[in-house]
Structure 1
């Protein structure tokens, strides 16, 4: 009887134990997966805090997961309001991205328009180019899009974009010396202007706080305008990065006349009236759409 009972119950007992083990293991595995996802996203945020502008492939390699997983994580974190996505990567949304709150605020203003302008303008930067970037938030977005270019010679008075592009060991980044501005995002002054006079720059990528056909590109701060004026004099080409919110505004001082502009990039929110006025003024203009197309 006992022998018969043993043979009847032992397989059933083993089956029950197997089911229990499977259930416990699955629950543990699910919990572990949740913790892993949570920890991975915390690590991802930490990486972006330390190295703003990291790309999806770099994040995937650092965390040992697929690029698809990273994109899912970035989408989830963006949904939580913790970061801002850009083409190929992301940046944190809090003020910890930059060293000052003023630049962080400008970085968020008209962000979508600035991103698409930067993406188009990046097609004018090739390996080995000698370029100047001003301290604008649009130029920083351009820096994000060109950070994988090689052997760039970059002249800038913007601390944030200098740090970004200096991470590429093939680049030479010249941070112009001078007086550190109050918001801590740029350097201006006589020293900066003297350095620029000694340099030859292929293309100067410059933004502005206002644009009109009467005064051209204008700037709120006199020192910034003077520096940009010197940069334009030392550059073969002036590439104007002007989002649609700047048209029709005139600020304190001008630094570039319309006829000095080699090419102007703006976004598709520009009014039909302003688009027509730029055309009548015979300016070389690209109106940047969401999908990048070659410059004609």
Structure 2
């Protein structure tokens, strides 16, 4: 968790160029003492420089692991909005994906809830949370998506009364809905999407207007759609027409 936070802080600084300590505290929801320690550690690499009341980027080249900085910040913002949807005693499904995996980092530690997931990152994030009951699905580990896929009987997912399903998608389109490309992931996604009381889709702006091999849910079946920025007129009108709650930072 700390290693990821340090990477995200460094990426944020390189994107913004100049930031205050207060801004970093607010964005990453940590104390000023924690931010100072993190900044000292990052500054040792020579890519940032401490200034009065804040920090500035001194690097023209963004490190390789931070080349998708802007997308990572967008994904983190989406995840923060998603976590705010979770209430006491919810049974939530958190899908595998580079956006959904950040939801656990923003969970209110005081909430008692049950998390159902096939994401290794989510499992690792919530495993030590005392108020979270963790249920894991999938029987085969898929390294490139850091997820567990495949079930002897996908219908067994029907036994879970999922109140909110936070779903990722490779593509989102009006004609093909929420799509992905992996058959084993598709089986889990489709079963969960059809069962959940609320279907909440998370997708940054780069996913819209695209579709892949398999549709696991129609776009009109989505209850809440969380994206990184305001959608174009076509999608905004579609969401309004189908009573989809559209949210973005």
| TM-score category of the 2 structures, normalised to the smaller one | 0.7 to 0.9
Question: How is 1:254-293 mapped onto 2 (pairs within 5 angstroms)?
Answer: 254-268=215-229, 270-279=230-239, 281-289=241-249
Unaligned residue ranges in structure 2 (runs of 5+): 7-29, 48-64
- Which deviates more, 193-202 or 154-163? 193-202
Q: TM-score, normalised by structure 1?
A: 0.62
1:183 equivalent in structure 2: 144
Structure 2 residue 98 is matched with structure 1 residue 134: no
Cα gap change, 1:214 to 1:281, in 2 (>3 Å): farther
Alignment match, 1:48? 2
Q: Which has the higher contact order (CA 8 A, sep 6+)?
A: 2
> TM-score under structure 2 normalisation?
0.73
Residues 258 and 283, structure 1, Cα contact 8 Å, conserved in 2: no
Query: Which string of whole-angstrom CA distances, capped at 9 and with x for unpartnered residues, describes residues 239-296 of structure 1?
Result: 011111100111121111012111111122x45345444346435233412xxxxxxx
The answer to whether residue 37 in structure 2 is matched with residue 73 in structure 1 is yes
- Larger relative helix fraction: 1
Q: Specify the SS of the correspondent of 1:161.
A: helix
1:193-215 deviations in Å (ceiling 9; x for gaps)? 24422211000000101010001
Consecutive unaligned residues in structure 1, runs of 5 or more = 1-46, 55-65, 83-103, 290-296
Q: Partners of 2:182 and 2:67 in 1: how far apart?
A: 15
Q: Go from structure 1 to structure 2 and tell me whether the alpha carbon gap of 1:105 and 1:53 turns closer, same or farther (over 3 Å shift).
A: closer
- Distance change >3 Å, CA 253–CA 107, structure 1 → 2: farther
Q: How has the CA–CA distance of structure 1 residues 177 and 280 changed in structure 2, closer, same or farther, with 3 Å as cutoff?
A: closer
Structure 1 residue ranges (4+ consecutive) displaced by more than 4 angstroms after TM superposition:
76-82, 104-109
Structure of greater Rg: 1
Residue by residue over 1:14-35, the C-alpha shift from the partner in whole angstroms, topping out at 9 and shown as x without a partner, is xxxxxxxxxxxxxxxxxxxxxx
How many residue pairs end up in the alignment? 208
Q: Deviations over 1:170-207 (max 9, x none)?
A: 21101113111143611111237244222110000001
